[in-house]
Structure 1
Amino acid sequence: MTTTQAAVVESPGAAFTLRDVELDAPRQGEILVRMKAAGICHTDLTVAAGHIPFPLPGVLGHEGAGVVEETGPGVTKVKPGDHVVLTFTSCGSCASCRIGHPAYCTTWIPQNLIGGKRADGSSPISRGGVALGGRFFGQSSFARHSVADERSVVKVDPDLPFELLAPLACSVQTGTGAVWNTLRPEPGTSIAVIGTGAVGLAAVMGAALTPVSQIIAVGRQAAQLELAAKIGATHTVDSTGLDLAAELRKITGGAGVDYVVEAVGNPDVLRAGIEALAPRGAVAVVGAPPYGVEVSVDVHRLLPGRRILGVCEGDSDPDRLIPLLARLIRGGRLPVQPLIREYDFADIQAAADDFRSGKNIKTILRFDA
């Protein structure tokens, strides 16, 4: 058993509070990781607020990066000393996993989002002998150590800073994957990315590495739109008070956009994206509104081949995509650094507040600051 410090959320709506907790020794298929960096994502804050059911008190965090300290029985993927990124987990045996789509694993929601425990009902995290909600996305990385599921751990080369690796776990692989794996734009087509947070800007970066002719970044913050232009957007649109669908059709000469990434999670924005599509166009729905939110669509808009595609984690196979993303960062082709603002892990609540208020695009916690 390992004693470590974790950011515990005691109840829905409570703050992140640093507490000493105990971690089990890694069991079959588990890995003990010493955390070096972790990203804060909107999903962490949504769960902490109580909008998604997760057993609390508990430990969140799902964009981890660190160093392997110990491996449990049967682990062959990594060894102590390896640098790793901690991402979502999956069963590895269902139909989706077997064909390379673990983001659509049949056990995805209980294993990643709401379960908080192993398949046998136990949690790897406890406090004073009482189990806490853990294993969030197979990792619960808001702690100085994490017992992670082998399926959620990806080995990476040790030459990149951990603060650049952590966002690859969710936001960057979600944005780039939505473009590369789901939309797959053809040469000369147009793409609009609605939302200029970390996921949206990652989608812009991903689109810039494809042969599209137009990349339209849509947002409401001038600084984020300026950054979008620097990393590949050919057009930027401040959507404040705008008929967005009409503006996107205007930019594309009336034809409509071929592809849309909706990274806001707003039903009105999604509807505008659908309305802006060219015939045979597709919108990738990445943003996640609260459960139960519905969007009405005129069916006749869909008959000319228009498609609405839900996307989870960029339809990524992390063992393939994350090492590729790391290589693109190393080669200067994926400019993640401008998105990042770092905080000491001890300041996690201030970091979360700043992120929630929109001060930061990608908030990274450092454990060795």
Structure 2
Amino acid sequence: MEIKAAVARAPQAPLSLETLQLEPPRAGEVLVRLVATGICHTDIVMRDQHLPTPQPVVLGHEGAGIVEQVGSGVTKVAVGDHVVMTYNSCGHCASCDKGQASYCHDFFPRNFLGTRADGSSGLSQAGKMIYGNIFGQSSFASHSLCHERNVVKVPRSAPLELLGPLACGVQTGAGAVLNSLRVAPGDSLAVFGTGSVGLSAIMAGVVAGATTIIAVDRNRQRLELALELGASHAFVADSPGVVEQICQAAGGSGVDHALDTTGLAPVIQQAVAVLAPRGTCGILGASDPSSTLELNLSHMMSAGRSLRGIVEGDSLPDHFIPSLIRLYEGGRFPFDRLVTYYEFEQINQAIDDAEHGRVVKPIVRFPSP
């Protein structure tokens, strides 16, 4: 079938809106008509070749839409179901077998390299392959081929055009708090970086019952939003004495939990520095593969502090995404406040606004058929 898609053909260049050909779903695949898709910082990283994602490629990995066709063997969803599309995984490695698919041993090729496991792509133009299958979906397009493993059925009562970011950025931040760190009532939490991931973590901290929730960023407007969403304190990241201020806000000895969403070594060092004894820092931001981190070993060992990486919020999407929807519908997780909508033809403006911090979470909407 012919579809409309936004194709990345060069680093730091606008995506081009083009007509492509899309194969029918193979065994285990699902054809989805997109209603909307979120734009994530990782899409920009792939576009600009900071990760080895081949071009020309259709990016996009926070898709939401309606199932139009299923391949043989698919039983999880049926035609007409409302779904969001999340990260892809193999389903049979040691991590997947233990219910930890976000640490799939094949995670990188199945999400970033633009082909199915056999090296093929469902996308083409005039007989030439266009790379697709990004996060098992490539949702910057009117239609997407995804996989039974990475499609999540959602209630028809939920606003489908809003739900895409739950599949990556929002579940990453919220899951880090609720699943990975298991923040408990009365705990303290510091979040470094208040984009969509960080603000989702702050909202999840409220859900978890944390009593001290500290937002840290350079963007004062984002800090104001963080306070509105439940942060108890907000500090400008590069202000003098910010580490001491954060520790004092948490009672003097530091915070129980810290999260870095920036992927920047100096910020991670700050996040570790504010940990109380036995505190844990989780790192969520994508880092330059060549970057390194220096830590004071005595500071880490002598008080039992921990540092760990977190991918996709340790989420089991089939369970966690519906739970976030229920929290939203109950008024306890207002992630809609992060969203700015654009039409599909405005996708380059949406990306530019995200890059320059003019919006928190852009979502592009597709025209009805």
User: How many equivalent pairs are there?
Assistant: 367
CA distance in 2, matches of 1:344, 1:211: 37
What's the CA shift for 1:162?
A: 2.2
Deviations 1:191-224 (A, max 9, x none): 1011110000000011101122211111122221
Query: Counterpart of 1:206?
Result: 204
Query: Counterpart of 1:368?
Result: 367
SS in 1 for 2:68: strand
SS in 2 for 1:5: strand
Is contact 2:342-2:350 (8 Å) kept?
yes
Query: Counterpart of 1:297?
Result: 295
SS in 2 for 1:237: strand
Is contact 1:35-1:144 (8 Å) kept?
yes
CA distance in 2, matches of 1:270, 1:124: 39
Is contact 2:31-2:145 (8 Å) kept?
yes
Is contact 2:236-2:242 (8 Å) kept?
no
Is contact 1:59-1:133 (8 Å) kept?
yes
Deviations 1:156-190 (A, max 9, x none): 00112223201101111000100111111233221
What's the CA shift for 1:367?
A: 0.3
Q: After the TM superposition, which residues 237-276 of structure 1 pair with which residues of structure 2 at under 5 Å, given as runs?
A: 237-276=235-274
Using structure 2 for the length normalisation, give the TM-score.
Answer: 0.97
Moved more, 97-106 or 66-75: 97-106
Is contact 1:164-1:336 (8 Å) kept?
no
> Aligned partner of 2:180: which letter?
T
Q: What's the % identity of the aligned pairs? A: 47
Query: Counterpart of 1:148?
Result: 146
Name structure 2 gaps, 5 residues minimum.
none
SS in 2 for 1:146: strand
Q: After the TM superposition, which residues 101-140 of structure 1 pair with which residues of structure 2 at under 5 Å, given as runs?
A: 101-113=100-112, 115-140=113-138
CA distance in 1, matches of 2:349, 2:211: 41
CA distance in 2, matches of 1:270, 1:350: 31
Query: Counterpart of 2:52?
Result: 53
What's the CA shift for 1:244?
A: 2.8
Query: Counterpart of 1:286?
Result: 284
CA distance in 2, matches of 1:208, 1:173: 15
What's the CA shift for 1:288?
A: 1.6
SS in 2 for 1:199: helix
Query: Counterpart of 2:335?
Result: 336
> Aligned partner of 1:296: which letter?
E
CA distance in 2, matches of 1:150, 1:55: 24
SS in 2 for 1:209: helix
Query: Counterpart of 1:94?
Result: 93
Is contact 1:265-1:286 (8 Å) kept?
yes
CA distance in 2, matches of 1:129, 1:241: 55
CA distance in 1, matches of 2:202, 2:11: 34
Is contact 1:39-1:63 (8 Å) kept?
yes
Name structure 1 gaps, 5 residues minimum.
none
What's the CA shift for 1:262?
A: 0.6
What's the CA shift for 1:239?
A: 1.9
CA distance in 1, matches of 2:199, 2:209: 17
